[in-house]
Structure 1
Amino acid sequence: MSLPTVCILAGGIGSRLGEHVRAVPKPLVEVAGEPFLFHQLRLLRRHGAQQIVLCVAYLGETIVDAIGDGAEFGLEVGYSFDGPERIGTAGAVRQALPQLGPEFLVLYGDTYLRIDYADVVRVHRASGLPATMTVLRNQGRWDTSNATFDGRLVGYDKHTPSPQAEWIDYGLAVVSERGFTSVEGEPADLADVYAELSRRGELAGYEATERFFEIGTPEALAETSVFLQR
């Protein structure tokens, strides 16, 4: 099964990484001997991805130079630039919509997610809902739990999570364009889009079973490098 277009949010500054991102954007930080984004793109290709849209901002031109049209990875890669002003994660997706099609996956450019991407898409389509969030049973292990999950629907609020929240947003979602654009007010943060869909009972869930790896902090970067070297 080929996947819908994958939107990768790769515009963050990565300020917590300090010197690591002084000359390169976070997705190009070296991990296990090569830019992190190379690992991520190869993972997505193995899972059936064909078309990628990279939403870029900080040092975005260097990402274009490194990845090009994606042929080296067996992919078709396009780009969407934030522009002169920061527009947030939801703003970046909104700007990229003309390239994404009626249904797309969205994830972050600093995460390595071991999950059955095609099965996530299958479950999303079977749900009939406008969005499906992948969630990991967290119970406070990796970060603050911010979601509930009853086996079908996700209750999500990043800013004021429920006291019953034992799950965490895994960082991958399948979203329909109609669902995304139905959220009024054009919020800047993608988390606010998910929260509104959740309030409506329109956010389906998919349980991830493998822990995520990411490069958002020096400690996480070191841990992910060790994992990928294996």
Structure 2
Amino acid sequence: MQREDALRSIDVAVLAGGLGTRIRGVLGDTPKVLAPVAGRAFLAHLLDYLARHGAQRAVLCLGHLADRVTAWLAQGDSHHAIDVVCQVEPRPLGTAGALRFVRGELRTAHVLVVNGDTFLDADLRAFVASHRLSGAEASVLCVEVEDATRFGRVEIGADGRVLRFAEKSPGPGTINAGVYLFSAAFLDRVAASDAASLERDVLERLPPGMLHAVVTRARFVDIGTPESLAAAAEVIGEGTP
């Protein structure tokens, strides 16, 4: 599999409906997914990254300030041709609720789900290949960071399966990078549930060993705080795979 073919037959769901309360003082009425990074909207970098891995179709799970995002898309800032479908939730539904709301738009046997406020420059080819070999219905891409204080840690067994999600604590660690591969059957179960948070209500409640994990050392940034948003240009600007 070539890198540019990794997502050719996989729909992508981008979770981009959050309120962005922690950086509202910096962005004002600009939705977090359109935060300016290295001269472009964050979403432009994310869509270009997905396109380089062969993505053909992305479903944007929108909510807060969705009209700003649809107006931006109409301007055609992304350099790559991805079929982008916008779905606007009627009220805040949480990350699991957003997937429930757009389930009918996700048509492929496996679906890549990404947080709309994180960027990881990993080669998704290896992630897709590992997911398929694992036989798991759900996989999470994890990254090693020097300071896991904001994120909480993922404890992974020798077989590459998640043992548990640990509480936040300072120091280096392996964290959830906000990139997932789900089978259609797994998504159906999420859609049939009343879960609000994908992380807390779904993934953290799975029995140990059900969730497959792939760990990478790639560059990672979460733009959820003013400090991390300010650092995003360095992470994204120094190149993607």
Normalising by the smaller structure, the TM-score range is: 0.7 to 0.9
Aligned pairs, how many? Answer: 225
C-alpha distance in 2 between matches for 1:195 and 1:180? 16
Q: Is the 8 A contact 2:219 2:235 kept in 1?
A: no
TM-score by length of 2: 0.84
Give the 5 Å matches for 1:118-197: 118-138=125-145, 140-141=147-148, 143-151=150-158, 152-157=160-165, 160=167, 166-182=173-189, 185-191=193-199, 192-197=201-206
Q: Please show how residues 1-230 of structure 1 align to structure 2 within 5 Å.
A: 1-3=5-7, 4-68=10-74, 72-83=79-90, 85-101=91-107, 102-138=109-145, 140-141=147-148, 143-151=150-158, 152-157=160-165, 160=167, 166-182=173-189, 185-191=193-199, 192-197=201-206, 199=207, 201-230=209-238
CA–CA distance in 1 between the matches of 2:20 and 2:231? 17
Distance of 1:141 and 1:19 partners within structure 2: 24
Separation in 2 of the partners of 1:48 and 1:69?
22
> Deviation string for 1:126-172 (max 9, x for gaps)?
111110011123474453433111242012336x579xx94211110
Change in CA separation of 1:140 and 1:228 when aligned onto 2, cut-off 3 Å: closer
**Aligned-partner Cα distance in 2 for 1:139–1:31:** 22
Cα distance in 2 between the residues matched to 1:225 and 1:17 = 16
RMSD (Å), alpha carbons: 2.4
1:107 Cα shift? 0.9
Percent identity for Structure 1 against Structure 2: 32
Amino acid aligned to 2:198: L
Question: For the Cα contact (< 8 Å) 2:43–2:116, is it kept in 1?
Answer: yes
Letter in structure 1 aligned against 2:132: R
Gaps of 5+ in 1: none
Distance 1:221 1:138 in 2: 16
Deviations 1:80-128 (A, max 9, x none): 1111x21100000111111112310111111111111122111111111
